[in-house]
Amino acid sequence: MSAKRLLLASNNAKKLTELRALLVPLGVELLAQGDLAIAEAAEPFDTFLENALAKARHAAHASGLPTLADDSGLCVDALGGEPGVRSSRFARDARQGEGDADNNRWLLQRLHGQAQREAAFVCVLVALRHAADPEPLVATGRWPLSVLDAAQGGGGFGYDPIVRPRGASAGSVATLTEAEKNAHSHRALAMRQLVAQLHERWHW
């Protein structure tokens, strides 16, 4: 492959910014599928891997470009892995509102009185050379966390205000700088694996 261009199978602006920053060392131009008027793919599966692969194939087929897809979310041990792949719609599916604030409120409500607070942000990245690529690149990152009793900090997005990196004594993920988050996050861990595979397998 001569051109280092990847299409991101997402219209999430914050995710695009984060992944672009992580790809800078490789000299890869990351495009957004919305810029090409590609609609969001369905995400009907119960695992991050299946959803990421479905999104990547959909965008690669529509664009003809090498494509990167991310599926990620928060997995809480006391809830059997919920909200998992439904992290972005956790409150909506339970008819408890919609959006980050309602998701956070609903999760804290579900965990009220629960002593077990272990959780993890999980990210699966899939990269395809083309829609029919029989050998997708797959990378996984897992960031161990503890769920707080109340929100802290105004940065980040999603569940960042109500989770703390495991072992940290204070603050939440929402109190971290962008550089700190990009050094330790589930997405950063997965991207490091993916970059190594892009070097080795795609010769980028």
Residues 6+ apart with CB under 8 A from 13: 32
What's the token pair of residue 40? 């969001």
The CA distances from residue 96 to 4, 28, 74, 82, 187, in Å, are 43, 40, 18, 15, 28
Q: Identify the active-site residue in 35, 46, 70, 71.
A: 71
In the residue annotation, 71 being an active-site residue is answered as yes
Residues in the chain: 204
- Where do we find the tokens 């990620």? 72
CA angle 48-187-89, nearest 5°? 50
Residues 6+ apart with CB under 8 A from 96: 102, 105, 106, 109
Catalytic machinery residues: 71
